[in-house]
């Protein structure tokens, strides 16, 4: 008889909600649940959830800031602090924000993290789009 290790990340409903092939509620577990949770933190603006008004990340504050090095540094700090506060299952090792080579309005947020329960190092790349200044040719 083999024993299965407990699932460190838990199990939860998939977001957005959906159905599985047998018609039940689609669920996510393990590392997939962790990635979905981090994406949810990054895409939720503080104040959107009435019962958890501080939950989320202020990435939207930088949509009109342009894809500059100073914006990249501010985004990296915002992502790092939001994940540290709201995702206790990971240690964020680094957050690097860099522009896309072929799109001056796109920044890639590269999050290097370690899952605490397994000491498994992973990365998540999250695209972030900015809106160029008026009069710009982009």
User: What is the tens place of the pLDDT at every residue in 116-130?
Assistant: 888 889 999 999 998
Q: Which domains does the chain have, with CATH numbers?
A: 11-129 (3.10.450.40)
User: What is the tens place of the pLDDT at every residue in 8-52?
Assistant: 556 666 666 778 888 888 777 777 888 888 999 999 999 999 999
Is residue 75 within 8 Å of residue 109, measured between CB atoms?
A: yes
Is residue 77 within 8 Å of residue 109, measured between CB atoms?
A: no
User: What is the tens place of the pLDDT at every residue in 64-80?
Assistant: 988 888 999 999 999 99
For the chain, how many residues are written?
138
pLDDT of residue 13: 65
Q: With a threshold of 0.85, does the pTM exceed it?
A: no
Residue 85: pLDDT band (50, 70, 90) is very high
pLDDT of residue 2: 44
Joined together, the tokens standing for residue 2 give: 């083999």
60-83 b/e (C-beta count within 10 Å ≥ 16 → b) = eebeebbbeeebbebbbebbbebb
Joined together, the tokens standing for residue 49 give: 């959830």
| Mean pLDDT of all residues in 53-65 | 95
Residue 8: other Cβ atoms inside 10 A: 15
């Amino acid at each position: 008889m083999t024993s299965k290790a407990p699932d460190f990340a838990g199990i939860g409903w998939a977001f957005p909600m959906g159905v599985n092939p047998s018609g039940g509620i689609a669920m996510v577990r393990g590392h997939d649940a962790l990635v979905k949770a981090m994406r949810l933190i990054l895409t939720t603006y503080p104040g959107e959830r009435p019962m958890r008004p501080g939950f989320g990340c202020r990435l939207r504050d930088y949509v009109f800031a342009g894809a500059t090095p100073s914006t990249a540094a501010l985004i990296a700090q915002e992502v790092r602090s939001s994940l540290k506060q709201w995702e206790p299952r990971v240690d964020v090792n680094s957050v690097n924000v860099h522009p896309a080579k072929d799109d001056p309005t796109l920044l890639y947020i590269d999050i290097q993290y370690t899952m605490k329960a397994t000491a498994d190092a992973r990365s998540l790349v999250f695209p972030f789009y900015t809106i160029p200044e008026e009069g710009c040719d982009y």
